[in-house]
Amino acid sequence: MATHIKPLILHAHTTGPNPIKIAIALEALGIPFTVKLWDFSNDPKTGVKGTTFLKINENGRVPALEDPNTGIISWESGACMNYVRRVYDSANQIGPCGSSGQDLVDFEKWEYFLLTTLGPMTGQVNWFKHYHHQENEDALQRYTAQTYRCYNVLENQLRKSGGTSILPGRVCAVDYHFEPWVRQHSFAGLSLDSYPMIHKWLGLMHAREEVQEAYIKVQAAAGK
């Protein structure tokens, strides 16, 4: 633990997958942080759409990350992750697995694939499965198929490492981006039965200390 570092403040939600990615990265790097939980309402004091939180993130979503050591506030999990990497990962513990131009692009392409495609498609499945005001089977099927398409892409990629990491070589921030989304597959009504590599990778991720500690910390903030 880096004791000279003042704890960062991770703004999060009890179950939302995006903040957990950042908690995992901070745990991996041994950076101290506290968790402040918000709900999805517009309550001025407790909600991500309320006046207090909108001063931190005008987009009204978590994660947001406040760093009292630098005075910098980031939001969007990709920006938070890259901030953490730039400022606190000088030894490149969680960044690209090599230093070639291809290694850097490989890191970014898988990070962006999660941020722009697998994450949002899964989010839409969740929306149409659990929250939309009326049943919309067409939309649910469309987003379910798109998410399975992403799982196919991920499954093929994981074959390269035998299911141990998304980028062959070692676990990195890319795995941290994917873990919370894939972990929630059953909430989205999705099955990993046809995805042995994803299944294996998820089991290995669950067993990692930084992953377990991140979930413990967010749940502790919720008093669970």
Ligand X SMILES: N[C@@H](CCC(=O)N[C@@H](CS)C(=O)NCC(=O)O)C(=O)O
Residue ranges binding ligand X (CB under 6 A): 13, 16-18, 40, 48, 61-63, 76-78, 115
Please state the closest distance from residue 43 (CB atom) to ligand X, in A.
Answer: 12
Task: Provide the minimum distance between the beta carbon of 59 and ligand X in the complex, in angstroms, as a whole number.
Answer: 8
User: Which distant-in-sequence residues (6+ apart) come within 8 Å of 208 by Cβ?
Assistant: 171
Measure Cα distances from 59 to 56, 77, 120, 218 in Å.
9, 12, 16, 22
Write out the DSSP string of 61-83: -S-EEEETTTTEEEESHHHHHHH
Q: How many CA atoms lie within 13 A of 174 on its CB side?
A: 26
Residue 146 vs residues 38, 58, 121, 127, 222: alpha-carbon distances, Å: 29, 29, 6, 14, 32
Nearer to ligand X, 63 or 95 (CB): 63
Compute the least distance from the CB of residue 79 to ligand X, in Å. 8
Q: Which is nearer to ligand X, 61 or 199 (CB)?
A: 61
Q: Distance (Å, rounded) from C-alpha 49 to C-alpha 58?
A: 9
Dist. CA 61–CA 118, nearest whole Å:
18
Whole-number minimum distance, CB 129 to ligand X, in Å? 15
Joined tokens for residue 38: 């918000």
Structure-token match 């892409």, residue found: 153
Nearer to ligand X, 16 or 95 (CB): 16
Query: Quick one: 61 or 129, whose CB is closer to ligand X?
Result: 61
Residue number of the CB atom closest to ligand X: 16
Residue 110 CB-half CA count within 13 A: 28
Is the Cβ of residue 89 or residue 111 nearer to ligand X in the bound state? 111
Nearer to ligand X, 43 or 103 (CB): 43
| Shortest Å distance, C-beta 139 to ligand X | 17
Shortest distance in whole angstroms from residue 34 CB to ligand X: 18
